[in-house]
Amino acid sequence: MPTAAPLALVASRVRYEEKRLLEAAERRRVPFVQVDPRTVWMELTAAGGPSWGVALNREISHTRGLYLARLLAAKGVPTVNPAAVAEVCGDKLLTSLALARAGLPTPRTAVALTSAAALEAAEVLGYPVVTKPLVGSWGRLAAVLRDREAAEAVLEHRDALPSPQQHVVYLQELVDKPGRDIRAIVVGDRVLGACYRRADGWRTNGARGASFSPCPPDPDLDRLALAAAAAVGGGVLGVDLLEDRDGALCVLEVNHTVEFRRFQEAVGDRVEVADAIVGHALAGAGR
């Protein structure tokens, strides 16, 4: 097991974000360890566990990151974000249910347990609709279904995939957005800022090359982002919002292992995302 430290950054891949977090810890003169979760094991019935004040869970694999967070919780190690938050944010159905319970505006959404039921749901929602896997990021395996023929083709392909989870169909209306969406970053009870994400296609993911530009301060946007973060359990979160053609905002999803490179490049020195995250983690650990 890795050595004791007030802060552990847990990640199997050290990207821009993880480097910035480690640099922020160095600037604060906080001793830290960088841990590859692929090397971690814990004996469940043994006393004790990692001697870390707090763990920043930046594991890129959702499954590995979720189970790591559960193990750390069992061993009494505070984790940012906790397993309960990762569980909700990592599953689009659980996220949608949490946002609905909080009464927050979201795109119309339906979940069907078979392709036949999904075709009926799509007719009720009205084409075009978007289908997404329950677990996944970066817009992978998401598709716009513009009519029944397209829906039948995509759902037939999904039915052929080996994972039973892929056979559960998550559908959302395709919001007529003005060529952009909004990414807000929430740390604790603070919205660090928001950026527009623009792309030529309907997907505006940063991982797919969307351009980022600062979004002007907006109290209504901040309130909605904070409410969405609270609905899934709070912490360090990326909240994705959509505007319709009239400017009305709704929450699309909430990300628990938020990537912030493009956001940081867009906002410049006005906001230091990594330092805010490290400060939040240390405050939660009582430092």
Backbone angles phi, psi at 149, to 5 degrees: -60, -45
pLDDT given at position 272: 97
pLDDT given at position 256: 96
Peptide bond into 205 cis (omega under 30): no
pLDDT given at position 205: 63
Chain mean pLDDT for the chain:
92
Task: Look at 99-113, 221-235, 247-261, 272-286 and tell me which has the smallest mean pLDDT.
Answer: 272-286
pLDDT given at position 206: 60
Whether the predicted pLDDT of 138 surpasses 70: no
- Residues 284 and 245: their CA atoms lie apart, in Å, by 40
- Residues 14 and 208: their CA atoms lie apart, in Å, by 20
User: Which of the two residues, 89 and 246, has the higher pLDDT score?
Assistant: 89
Q: Return the SS3 of 31.
A: coil
Give me the torsion for CA of 9, 196, 141, 113, rounded to 10°.
90
pLDDT given at position 35: 95
- Quick: pLDDT tens for 28-58: 999 999 999 999 999 999 988 899 999 999 9
pLDDT given at position 204: 66
pLDDT given at position 4: 66
Q: Return the SS3 of 112.
A: strand
pLDDT given at position 141: 78
Binned at pLDDT 50, 70 and 90, residue 162 comes out as confident
Whether the predicted pLDDT of 233 surpasses 90: yes
- Quick: pLDDT tens for 176-223: 888 899 999 999 999 999 999 998 766 666 665 689 999 999 999 999
Q: Which two tokens stand for residue 26?
A: 């160095």
pLDDT given at position 5: 78
- Residues 35 and 2: their CA atoms lie apart, in Å, by 7
